[in-house]
A and B are shown apart, each in its own frame.
Chain A
Amino acid sequence: MQQLIAFIKKEIYHIARDRKTLLVLIGMPIVQIALFGFALSNEVKNTKLYVIDQNKDEMSVRFIEEVQASQYFDVVGYGEDVGDVDRILRSGVSQISLVVPPSFSSDLRHVNQANLQLITDAINPNVAATINAYITAISRDFRNTEMGDLKLPYTINVETRMMYNPQLKGEFAFVPGVIAMILMIICVLMTSVSIVKEKELGNMEMLLVSPTSPAIVIISKAIPYFVLSLLIISIILLMSTTILQVPIRGNIFLLYGVSSIFIITSLTLGLLISTLTNSQEIAMLISLMGMLLPTIMFGGFMFPIESMPKALQIMSNIIPAKWFYYAINDIMIKGLGWSSVYREVLILLGFTLLYMGISLKKYEIRLS
């Protein structure tokens, strides 16, 4: 016990005295949350729109005002000639041109139907599709308000309800993702590097020639990082609930409980990496390339797993972060309870046991 306390104290000194690393560890989640929250977003807002109004009557002006009024578009210029469109797109003045044909209002009045032309820069297909959807929605609303309740035969109206995230806020998806990613970095990277560092600097040589058991060395490494990880989760949750207004709908204790299990899984993974390598660089490389990158790609929070080829979907099952992401999403955003996350928790525990087993088997009681 005395030994364990001495080791933990030593570990805390290491962490606290390496100011730069500590600053990065605490600063990284804050910067990421701020970045994702305010700068990076897959919502399309304030798209520059170039309008070619060939109709030019009171109705077409009203329609363009409607488009302008939405937060999605900024009208940056007006033209009359459809031939301008190509030049405008190339010059980068706007990514999208809206052409209102001369017969717009008369068609709408007489045939109840009018055509608009939308010319978009589709280099990014997602943006183009989103813009298209916005314009379609605006024009439908416009028709409905202009024409009132028209009794049209055979219309199907799709009423979509966005469950759990009615405003389609990107934050809802990335806050759990950022938590998973940060925990992966701190727990896997930091533990593996800090154990390998002891090997590299020769400290391990001294520790081996002593009555200490390997278990104490390892547990003492894990405890401070466990506490640090919980602290960082708290920072992320605090920031996301206050600044980004992402709710925690489920039980907060369950959230911390599941997070703790994921932290332990990641710590054992870090330990496993440290037993397999002898240099800090390689440990870092394995942690980043071998662990962090798959976590981002197959964790489910950047790219939806459902749309991946079958082989990759199966592969994504071996990424612990994916299960954690599912569980934390269920708890935080959907507000579900224990019964809906126990499967994920069991899988994470399985990973932990597997990693622990391999590392104990591989743990060197001598210098290699």
Chain B
Amino acid sequence: MISIRNINKTYGKKGDITALSNINLEVERGELYGLIGPDGAGKTTLFRILTTLILPDSGSAQVMDYDVVVQYPQIRKIVGYMPGKFSLYQDLTVQENLSFFATIFNTTIRENYHLIEDIYVQLEPFKNRRAGALSGGMKQKLALCCALIHRPEVLFLDEPTTGVDVVSRKEFWEMLKRYKEAGITIFVSTPYMDEATLCDRIALIQEGKILDIAKPKDLIEDFQPGVFAVKTAEMNRAKNELQSLDENVEAYHFGEYMHVVTENNHLTPKAISDFLDKRGHQEVIIKRTTPTVEDVFMNLMKHASTTTT
């Protein structure tokens, strides 16, 4: 469906800013594929190469067996693209935007109404409001409608949930699941690690390099280091002290807790609590917890940086 081989892309006059380096990945038909990574990892660059908006420096990529460089007109007909930045016409109403995008893809709202019905009913009360005056979540729903209105084979969603409230994010992912079931291949990027588990498969990307590609479940199951959730009265001090405990120990904030990840299996909850007690920490809570995608990512990132430097 989508296949990417050895894609490289640099920016800057001398090509000294590397955006993507040697990217390889395959997306199967009907998959909900997540590209997970922090801001500046190269997600948008990869999306723009796949949607034929920019050219790679080297390597090749195909979408539905069409080459992104040579056969770009075919690709532009069959993909739905939702850019990371809200790109609809702000001075046009919801209704006008939707019918405009339907027409330029040679279709009508009525023809594919069944596809967008679920979202559109939520937008209906605001259909005469200008797109610029919608809330963040509504804007994204409208943009999704516009990207879907021509029933694309592949849907490219570049950070669709950035800047959207928790409830709308959840709704958004439920919709994506439904479109996946309707047979549309979805390639989505997000900086939110918690959304990774909602994908069939994910690629973790950092500084233009793919760190790992796996099913989220496998990624977590295969994660070797132990993960502890720790809470104390003085979180920051505890974090810094734990970090210096052992070179194999990583500690970082995770919600109201902090996660202490250790590749040294001798480190037990008892050892951590003794360590913290000795330094006078109060209200210490320690529990073993199952790793999350974020823990995996942090671990991979640490290894990537130690191998490169």
Contacts and interface: CB of A to CB of B under 8 A. Distances in A.
Please indicate whether A and B come from the same complex rather than being unrelated chains: yes
Interface of A: 2-3, 5-7, 9-10, 13-14, 17-18, 201-203, 205-212, 365-367
Contacts of A2: 103, 106
Interface residues of B, number: 30
B92 A10 contact: yes
Contacts, number: 74
A205 B90 CA distance: 15
Interface string B90-110: 111000100111011110000
Contact of A212 (B92, B104, B146): B104
A206 B86 CA distance: 10
B87 A203 contact: yes
B183 interface: no
B55 A366 contact: yes
Interface string B133-159: 000000000000010000000000000
A365 B92 CA distance: 25
Given A6-B104, A366-B52, A209 B76 contact: yes
A202 B87 contact: yes
B285 interface: no
Contact of A367 (B48, B96, B99): B48
B76 A202 contact: no
A110 B198 CA distance: 115
Nearest to B89: A203
B72 interface: yes
Interface stretch (B77-85, B168-176, B248-256, B299-307): B77-85
B292 to A, nearest CB: 33
Nearest to B152: A209
Contact of B96 (A10, A208, A212): A10
Interface on chain A toward B: helix, strand, loop, or mixed SS?
Answer: helix
B183 to A, nearest CB: 20
A202 B83 contact: yes
A216 to B, nearest CB: 8
B162 to A, nearest CB: 14
Contact of A209 (B53, B91, B92, B96): B53
A303 B81 CA distance: 53
A367 B48 CA distance: 9
B88 interface: yes
Contact of A211 (B53, B87, B104): B104
13 contacts: A3-B103, A3-B104, A3-B106, A6-B100, A10-B92, A13-B92, A13-B96, A209-B76, A211-B73, A211-B106, A366-B52, A366-B53, A367-B54
Contacts of A205: 53, 81, 83, 85, 87
Nearest to B85: A202
Contacts of B88: 203, 206
B53 A201 contact: no
B86 A210 contact: no
A201 B72 contact: no
Q: Which 5 A-B pairs have the closest CB atoms?
A: A202-B87, A6-B103, A209-B81, A367-B53, A211-B77
Nearest to B91: A17
Contact of A210 (B55, B96, B104): B104
B51 interface: yes
A210 B156 CA distance: 13
Given A18-B91, A203-B88, A366-B54, A211 B76 contact: yes
A34 to B, nearest CB: 31
Given A7-B104, A10-B89, A18-B91, A210 B53 contact: no
B52 A209 contact: yes
B229 to A, nearest CB: 41
Contact of B53 (A5, A17, A208, A212): A208
Nearest to B79: A209
A110 B22 CA distance: 108
Task: From B89, B101, B103, B104, name the one whose CB has the most chain A CB atoms within 10 angstroms.
Answer: B104
Nearest to B108: A2
Contacts of B53: 205, 208-209, 366-367
Nearest to A213: B73
Nearest to B103: A6
